[in-house]
Chain A
Amino acid sequence: MNPITNPESTTNWYLFLSCLLFSIGVMGVLFRRNALIILMCIELMLNAVNLLLVSYSAYAGNTDGQTFVFFIMVVAAAEVAVGLALMVSIYRNIGSIDIQSLNKLKW
């Protein structure tokens, strides 16, 4: 039950899972029009990367990967705070969060 006994194949499965989660996140970013949900899908992408990093850290027997995940979490938290503030500001100015309404830079 311990995935550490055979690290290589375990890492492959995690690689697959991570790529799947990442592409689902990308799909969400492209698919949805609600800016808040896009933000959440970006969080999903970040988490996929985190997962991969932790799995490699376990494979290498090294805590460096986990430390890196730590800092990614820091950045994600800060980014969400600022992003949400931006969202609120946009809502106040335009009245909706729909990204289709942000099309003033048309040719």
Chain B
Amino acid sequence: MSDELLSLTAAEQARRIESGEVSAAEAFDYWRGRAASDDLGAYLWVADEAPGDAGSFPPIAVKDLFCVKGVPSMAGSRILEGYRPPYTATSVENLQNAGIQVLGKTNQDEFAMGSSNENSGFGPVQNPWDRTRVPGGSSGGSAAAVAAGTAPWAIGTDTGGSIRQPASLCGIVGMKPTYGAVSRYGMIAFASSLDQCGPLTRDVTDAAILLSHLQGRDPCDSTSLGIEGGVALPTAERLDGLRFGIWGMEEPGLEPGVAEQVRATLAKIEELGGSVEPIELPNAGHGIAAYYVIAPAEASANLARYDGVRYGPRAAANGDLTALYEETRHDGFGEEVRRRIMIGTYALSSGYYEAYYGTAQKVRTRIAQDFAAAFEKVDFVVSPTSATVAFKLGERTQDPLAMYLSDYYTVPMPLAGIPAISIPCGLSEGLPVGFQIAGPAFSEARILDAAHALEKEIAFDGVPVR
């Protein structure tokens, strides 16, 4: 198979498969070879061979934390080393049923806790644009693989920005759907009230195709609703009559080069007939504070199950059951995961619950109200996806709080449960800049349409060395 497929989007490859120019098995083998050649640390596992039915699309790279039957699924953690689940996540099963097969499992921050992929139990991932920089996180492997052309497309999960921020730092498209659009069944849980599965792709059309197959109500996840009417392929080329509220341009941490690309994108919105006005989200600045109570609190409960009894390695404790739990958890969890378990346990402990968790859930209400008020005035809220371009490996690892602030622009949306997409909008210092478009709950089709029109106008054609 020639490198001809490399330059095509997944949708274009699917058309060649449909027309018989390329067989699905050939496409699978081509991508298997690409994935096997990865030298960025993006993959934790690559399929040996095409499944019996190679499907009707090119295959997909799947973030490690999705359970896939018989395939290592470790959520990037040593505490699940060697774990091969007995069942497959509904989201992945939906893709398989649509003819999209699993190509490999991608590296990630351990249990999706991180913004740089440096918290993986299996080593960091390099950004294909500059190998001394991070790809973002936590879906860093998925983003790096798509950008580097070792996967045609990928899925990840977003809890506080874990799809959109790495998509931004790697120059690709990433979308977090409305909470409840996609089933969480079989996704190894981090923070259950925030986690959502979504696509990381070359372009907006590929993201729409994946979302159309991922979404749906699932009896195994009582919080899943699906997207009513499904997800149509985006066709819009204009933005006439649409109102865009721009938020967060006055933040002190916003890099001038990023701000410049975002402003240029706002001008393109106007060229396409849309209008742009500043919008206030008065409580969004407190998003990180609320998030770093809610997410660790939920994580501390979700991660209680890793105790060396039912799966994963067990510490050789010479004591009673408690010693076995404590040592297994000490040895198996990385530093950041331990830190979050501690924050969460503290925030939920007797006497502190109301002051931390209760307060954070009120801030969350305020942020949702901010968005609701904004959507009275505008159709979409837009902003940079990340205040900075990809930062250097090691640059923020010594300061957990500085790392947490990487998610400033992406945290408010999951707190409010609403969907948002990041699309590449240009380069700053030779590195990709992401533009974020958020809309009301279940407005995915409208967001994808707007992103599609804007993507055509931006015509971002940057690719790293492949």
Verify that A and B bind, or say they do not: no
Q: Which B positions have Cβ atoms within 8 angstroms of A?
A: none
Q: Which A positions have Cβ atoms within 8 angstroms of B?
A: none
